[in-house]
Structure 1
């Protein structure tokens, strides 16, 4: 385990910031490192952790080993004809989108944050604002590599190993450590989105608007004013969107339609 970087015991919490526990965090640099630490069978077990965006205790292991998978990152292969990509499981959706968008592809499901690893997306079987149209992330996965509880490397797919595949998809890391995944992408013509915004007067109006023309939009999300009362109870704002087509762009943007600016996000305490 010469390449394995061990860290001191660390206090870890989910994104919600509650229920913090202490664990030894290890930083594997290869699948071999992952298998070796699993084979040591630590008394309190091993759990994988990506970018820590689960609200609760999904990637905590009090008194045990937490395997930080973020160093296991990078695109292994992209088939630009079919839109199938293979990546290391520690790759973040943010890094993946930066790499894919100029090639005309987009991730199949985007959750509320771009700071999610592919392994975490599969283990949590994340949903996005396009759930009604495209389902969860696992629906788009063609295969994955898993190091199970014995340290054995297994190759899973929904057709050849459906039981193990679907136990791992949404399995919260309990079937082993995902180290690589291959999945389908969404083709896009531009880096822009076409967004329609509507105001709803109350909850009934909002729900009716969400159902109306639902199949015309890939993405849909609503904000509800929980302080409104009376006839305005449940009033809100509905945003629906779709990836913009080249024809949707103004003429001065059509020369480089996949260009985008990745500016820093403003943060607040």
Structure 2
């Protein structure tokens, strides 16, 4: 047994942790393992939804392989333990990026699907699950399901945002979006009332992809805060960050 905590770190109950590393062995591991179990990625979920006190956690961070990436269509196939950070490192130098990213890059693909995370561009690009084209799901009876919007659609709908309750996500196919570069044009605008906040929000929807606001909870007698907005920029005035470019070999058409 091992103590495991989640994002809030309010508690660290004991768990029986089983590390998953081989997709081929997953059906047998889930079928023969102790129950009940729950998939656990990086533990960045809000609250305690990724915890299963006094029971089993299937740790998926070891399922971290890229399977295939198509430079022309932006389709990426990877295992569920791949981090969103590593997807951006692989694809941004090639002109592609994830359409939706949450507030931390240290999130697994499986966790992003299970929580159906959203970013600051929710009003334009929706949630993470809207860009998942297919996923492989292994259940505790050892069965493997291939799901998507047009295949096993009920299972797919129950798994996206299902908090891991339908089984363990093993692999996913994601549709990335074409981008001109990694930079954003941003503005930070103070406001002094709710009316001003709503006006900024309404006037930003059409021209700004990302919007977020902070309210000053210490202000007394009136409302004030900062409204931040951003949109992709193709400007090349800034130097590109010096990061190691991940190499992705050509992979022939993959079997599902």
Per-residue deviation, 1:26? 1.3
CA distance in 2 between counterparts of 1:158 and 1:149 reads: 23
CA distance in 1, matches of 2:8, 2:26: 27
Task: Provide the secondary structure at the position in 1 that maps to 2:162.
Answer: coil
Cα distance in 1 for partners of 2:20, 2:226 equals 45
In structure 1, the partner of 2:232 is 243
**TM-score, with length taken from structure 2:** 0.91
Mean Cα deviation higher: 28-37 or 123-132: 28-37
Q: Deviations over 1:243-267 (max 9, x none)?
A: 212xx333x75xxxxx32459xxxx
Deviations 1:174-224 (A, max 9, x none): 000001000111211112111122111122211210111312111111111
Find the counterpart in structure 1 of residue 144 from structure 2. Answer: 153
Match of residue 114 from structure 1:
105
1:149: how far off? Answer: 2.4
Aligned to 1:105: 96
Q: 1:22 aligns with which of 14, 25, 33?
A: 14
Which residue of structure 2 lines up, in the alignment, with residue 83 of structure 1?
74
Equivalent runs, 1:4-83 vs 2, <5 Å: 9-42=1-34, 44-83=35-74
Distance in 2 between the 1:114 and 1:21 partners? 25
Moved over 4 A (4+): none
Q: CA RMSD in A?
A: 1.6
Q: Distance in 1 between matches of 2:47 and 2:82?
A: 21
Counterpart residue number, 1:266: none
1:131 maps to 2:125: no
What is the deviation of 1:59? 1.7
The question of whether the paired residues in 2 share the 8 Å contact of 1:74 and 1:88 is answered with: yes
Structure of higher RCO (CA pairs closer than 8 Å, 6+ residues apart) = 2
Relative to the length of structure 1, the TM-score reads 0.86
1:212 matches 2:181? no
- Unpaired runs of 5+ in structure 2? 245-256
Residues 1:226 and 1:14: Cα distance change in structure 2 (over 3 Å): same
What secondary structure, in the 3-state scheme, does the structure 2 residue paired with 1:216 have? coil
The DSSP-based 3-state class of the residue aligned with 1:61 is coil
Report the 3-state secondary structure (helix = DSSP H, G, I; strand = E; otherwise coil) of the residue aligned with 1:198: strand
Return closer, same or farther for 1:212/1:109 CA change in 2, 3 Å cut-off. same
| Alpha-carbon distance in structure 2 between the residues aligned to 1:150 and 1:207 | 50
